[in-house]
A and B are shown apart, each in its own frame.
Chain A
Amino acid sequence: MIKIIKKYINYLYLAVFVVLIVVSYLSSKRKPDNVTELFTDLGWLNNFPKWLDVPFMHWINTGWRWFSSEYGLVFDAIGYVLLRAYVITKNLLVDTPWPLVVLGVVALTYFASGKKIGTTIFVGFCTFSIGFLNPRFWDKAIETTTIVFIGILLCIMVGLPVGIAMARNPRVRNAILPVLDLMQVIPSFCYLIPGIILFGLGAIPAIIGIFIYSCPPLIRLTDLGIRLVDKEVIEAAESFGANKKQKLWGVQMPLALPNIMQGINQCTMMALAMVVIASMIGTRGLGDEVLLGLQQLNVGSSLEAGLAIVLLAIVFDRITQAYGEKIQEKTQPTIKKKKYKI
C-alpha cells in the first residue's frame, strides 16, 4: 500500500493542486459569468486573476469558530493555571522590598557564575539601574520578568523533550523542523490576536506568544548539542555496556549542557523581544512604556523604557551565560587537556 502511494505521490499532489484551483474558481465571487469567457478573453493572463483565490481565509475562520467554541474550556483551564502562576509570582516579587530583590539577584548571579565577583557586581548594578532610570519601571520590570520567566519555564518543559526526541530519531526531526521554521517566521500578530480570543487580554496570550516565538532556538540547540557529542565518547559508553537511557542522561545530556544553556539564553532574549511586542495586546510591563512613548511621540520616555529593557536583557543574559560558562568549564576541561598534551 505504502509503495503504491510512494509511486504515485507526485500525481496525488498534482490532483490536489487541480482540485484547489477548481475550488477557488467555483467559490470566487469575482469569476466571469461563463467559463468559456476564460478562453475568449485572455485578459486574466495579464494580471493575476481575482478568481484565482483559494478561500483559505474562510476555511480558517470557520475552523477557528468551531475550534474556539468546542475547546474554549480547555484553553480556559490552561489560561487559569498560567494566570495563577503569574499572579502569585508577580505579587510575591512586587511585595518584596526592592533591596531584597536586588540582593536576591546578586546572590543568584554569584552562585550561578561560580563566584565571579566582576559579573556579580555588574549584574547587581544593572538590576538597581532599572529602578534608578525611573522608579515606575521597577514594578513593570518585575511584571515583565515574571512573564518571561513563566514563558521560559514552559519552553523548557516542552522544548527539552522535543529536542531530545529530535536528536534520537531523524524521522521526528524531519517532521518537526518545518514546524519550527513556521513558528519562527510567522508574524507574531497572527497568533497574538487569536490568543486574545482564547485567553483574553493581558499576560496569558503573551506567555503563549513567548512560547511560540522563543521555543524553536532551545529545541534546535538541544537537538544540535546532543548530536554533536563525540561519537567516540558514546562508543566508549556503549563498550562499558551503557543502555540507551544511561547513555542519554549519563553522557549525552551532560556534554550537551553548554549548548542547551546557550539555547535557554537565546530563548530568554527572544522572550524579552516578544514581551515588548505583546504590549500591543495589553500586556503590562516595560513594553507598554515603550508603546506609550511611541504613541505620545515622547522620544525621551520611550528611549528610557527601551534602556530599561536592555538592562533587563543584560541581567538575564549575564546570569544564563555565566551559568553556561561554569558548566562548560566542568564538562570540557580544556585547560587540563592542554596540560596532558604537553
Chain B
Amino acid sequence: MKFIKKSVLSLVLLAGITLGTSSANAACKAHLGDFDWDSANIHTAIASFMIEHGFGCDVEVTKGSTTPIMAAFFDGQIDVITELWEDNLVELLKPHFADGSIIHMGTNTPASEQAFWVDRATAEAHGLKSVEDMKKPGVWELFKDPENPSKGRMTSCISGWTCYTINFVKLKEYGLDELYTNFDPGSGGALDAAIAGAFAKGKPIFSYYWTPTSLMGKAEIDMVRLEEPAYTADCWAAMSVVVEDIKANGQEAYVPSCANEYKDMALTKTVRADWAAENPDVAAMIKAYALPTEKVNEMLAYYVDESDGDMEATAIHFLSSNSVWESWVSADVAANIKSAL
C-alpha cells in the first residue's frame, strides 16, 4: 500500500514538473517538415538548431516523402518547409498561395539542377551528349534492363514523386520510351545506391538525378548531364497540366504535349501564414535564410565524409565555422546560438 501511495505521489509530482516545463516553452513552437533527401535535411538541421537555441522554441521535425509532408503542411500540422522544390509542385501550391494560407519566404539555394545523367566513361566512349544521342542504334543495349532485356533501363525518380511522372512524360515526348524503361528505384537511398553501385563496378548507368547532393560531390562519381530542348515556360506549363492529370488519373491519361529540360531552379522556403503571424521574429529568420549552392555541397560533403553521418554535428559545424547566419538574426539571438554551440 505504502508503495502504491508513494508511486502515485511521485507520478503526480512528475506530471506537475513536465507540465510546468512544457507550459514554460509553449510560448513558441515550430514544427518543421523535412524530406528524404540530404540537402533538405541539412537546412532543417541548421534551422531547427537556430530556432531551438536562438529563440528558445519547442522544435519538432517530421520527416517523410513529398506528398505526405506537403499534405500535412497544407493541413496546418507543419509550420515550416525549409527547402521547397517549388517548380515541381507549381499546380499543387497555387491554390494555397492564392488563398493566403501559406507564405512564400524567398530563395533558399539559388541554383539546382535536375536532369538525366550518364556516367562519363560511357558518355565519352559513345559520344552521348544529349537525349537524342540515346536513340542511336545499340546505345540502349549498354544500359540493358536485366529484368526486361528488350529495353534499356533509365533509373528514374521515385514513383510517388512528381519527377517520376515528369520523366514518364519526357521519355514519351523524346521518343525514348520505346527503348528505355522508366525504372522506379523505390526510394532515395536505393537510387543513390544504384548509382554508387554502378560506379563501384564500372558499369554504364543512365539515370535521373539532381544537385545539390552529397553523391554528386563525391570524387568518384562523375556523370555527364544530357542536353535536352531548352526550357520555355509555355512548354513546361503545357507539360505540367498533363503531369497533374496522369498523377490523378493514371498513366492512361497521357496525351502528347511538350517536354523540355528541367529549369535550373531556385529552391525556396515557405511557412504557414498563421504560424508566421504568431512568431514574426522566427519567420523573419526563415525569410533571411539563404545559402549558395557551393556552401550546401560543401556541407553535404562534410556530412558524408567527416561528421560520421550526424546531421546535428554538421549543423553545428556550419554554425561555428561560418558567420553568414549572424545576419539572419538579431544580435542577442546570435549570442544565444553561439553559447549553445
**A192 CA to B308 CA, complexed, in Å:** 21
Cβ of A72: which chain B residues have Cβ within 8 Å of it? 200-201
Cβ of A193: which chain B residues have Cβ within 8 Å of it? 189-190, 193
Among B67, B71, B155, B200, the residue within 8 A (CB) of A68 is: B200
Pair B71/A297 contact, Cβ less than 8 Å: yes
Cβ of A294: which chain B residues have Cβ within 8 Å of it? 68, 160
B 181-198 binary contact with A (CB < 8 Å = 1; else 0):
001111101100110111
> Is A306 positioned at the interface, with any CB of B under 8 Å from its CB?
no
> Is A69 positioned at the interface, with any CB of B under 8 Å from its CB?
yes
A193-B190, A292-B159, A297-B67 are known contacts. Are A201 and B183 too (CB-CB below 8 A)? yes
**Chain A: minimal CB distance from B257 (Å):** 21
> Is A252 positioned at the interface, with any CB of B under 8 Å from its CB?
no
**Chain B: minimal CB distance from A283 (Å):** 7
Q: Which candidate, A149-157, A274-282, A315-323, is the interface stretch facing chain B?
A: A274-282
**Chain B: minimal CB distance from A144 (Å):** 13
A87-B147, A291-B159 are known contacts. Are A280 and B194 too (CB-CB below 8 A)? no
Cβ of B146: which chain A residues have Cβ within 8 Å of it? 83, 87, 200, 202, 204
Cβ of B194: which chain A residues have Cβ within 8 Å of it? 196, 200-201, 282
Pair A280/B190 contact, Cβ less than 8 Å: yes
Q: Would you list which residues of chain B between 294 and 341 have a CB under 8 Å from chain A?
A: 306, 308-309
Q: For this complex, into which size category does the number of interface residues on chain B fall?
A: 20 to 34
**Chain B: minimal CB distance from A295 (Å):** 2
The residue in B71, B183, B186, B187 that gathers the most chain A C-beta atoms within 10 A of its C-beta is B186
> Is B247 positioned at the interface, with any CB of A under 8 Å from its CB?
yes
A69-B200, A196-B194 are known contacts. Are A280 and B187 too (CB-CB below 8 A)? yes
> Is A189 positioned at the interface, with any CB of B under 8 Å from its CB?
yes
**A192 CA to B189 CA, complexed, in Å:** 10
Q: Would you list which residues of chain B between 160 and 208 have a CB under 8 Å from chain A?
A: 160-161, 183-187, 189-190, 193-194, 196-198, 200-201
> Is A29 positioned at the interface, with any CB of B under 8 Å from its CB?
yes
The residue in B68, B159, B197, B200 that gathers the most chain A C-beta atoms within 10 A of its C-beta is B197
**A193 CA to B190 CA, complexed, in Å:** 6
How many residue pairs link A and B with beta carbons under 8 A? The number is 89
> Is A198 positioned at the interface, with any CB of B under 8 Å from its CB?
yes
B 79-117 binary contact with A (CB < 8 Å = 1; else 0):
000000000000000000000000000000000000000
**A284 CA to B66 CA, complexed, in Å:** 22
Cβ of B147: which chain A residues have Cβ within 8 Å of it? 83, 86-87, 202-203, 284
> Is B65 positioned at the interface, with any CB of A under 8 Å from its CB?
yes
**Chain A: minimal CB distance from B103 (Å):** 23
Pair A291/B193 contact, Cβ less than 8 Å: no
User: Nearest CB to that of A30 among chain B residues?
Assistant: B313
> Is A288 positioned at the interface, with any CB of B under 8 Å from its CB?
yes
Pair A282/B67 contact, Cβ less than 8 Å: no
User: Nearest CB to that of B68 among chain A residues?
Assistant: A297
> Is B158 positioned at the interface, with any CB of A under 8 Å from its CB?
yes
Pair B308/A282 contact, Cβ less than 8 Å: no
Pair B190/A196 contact, Cβ less than 8 Å: yes
Among B149, B186, B197, B247, the residue within 8 A (CB) of A283 is: B186
**Chain A: minimal CB distance from B186 (Å):** 4
**Chain B: minimal CB distance from A342 (Å):** 56
A200-B197, A202-B147 are known contacts. Are A281 and B185 too (CB-CB below 8 A)? yes
A57-B309, A202-B147, A295-B65 are known contacts. Are A197 and B184 too (CB-CB below 8 A)? no
Cβ of A281: which chain B residues have Cβ within 8 Å of it? 185-187, 190, 193
> Is A53 positioned at the interface, with any CB of B under 8 Å from its CB?
yes
> Is A296 positioned at the interface, with any CB of B under 8 Å from its CB?
yes
Pair A196/B193 contact, Cβ less than 8 Å: yes
**Chain A: minimal CB distance from B33 (Å):** 14
Pair B67/A296 contact, Cβ less than 8 Å: yes
**A11 CA to B48 CA, complexed, in Å:** 47
Pair B197/A197 contact, Cβ less than 8 Å: yes
Pair B186/A288 contact, Cβ less than 8 Å: yes
**A36 CA to B193 CA, complexed, in Å:** 43
Pair A282/B184 contact, Cβ less than 8 Å: yes
Cβ of B185: which chain A residues have Cβ within 8 Å of it? 201, 281-282
A 36-78 binary contact with B (CB < 8 Å = 1; else 0):
0000000000000000010001000000010011001000100
Q: Would you list which residues of chain B between 231 and 268 have a CB under 8 Å from chain A?
A: 247
**A203 CA to B309 CA, complexed, in Å:** 29
Cβ of B197: which chain A residues have Cβ within 8 Å of it? 196-198, 200
List of 8 A-B pairs having minimum Cβ-Cβ separation, nearest first: A295-B160, A197-B197, A196-B193, A282-B186, A281-B190, A280-B187, A282-B185, A280-B186
Interface contacts beyond A201-B186, A280-B187, A294-B68: sample of 14 additional A-B pairs, CB < 8 Å, sorted by A: A68-B200, A69-B200, A87-B149, A194-B193, A201-B185, A202-B147, A278-B186, A281-B190, A281-B193, A282-B183, A283-B186, A292-B159, A295-B161, A297-B71
Name B residues whose Cβ lies closer than 8 Å to a Cβ of A: 65-68, 71, 146-147, 149, 155, 158-161, 183-187, 189-190, 193-194, 196-198, 200-201, 247, 306, 308-309
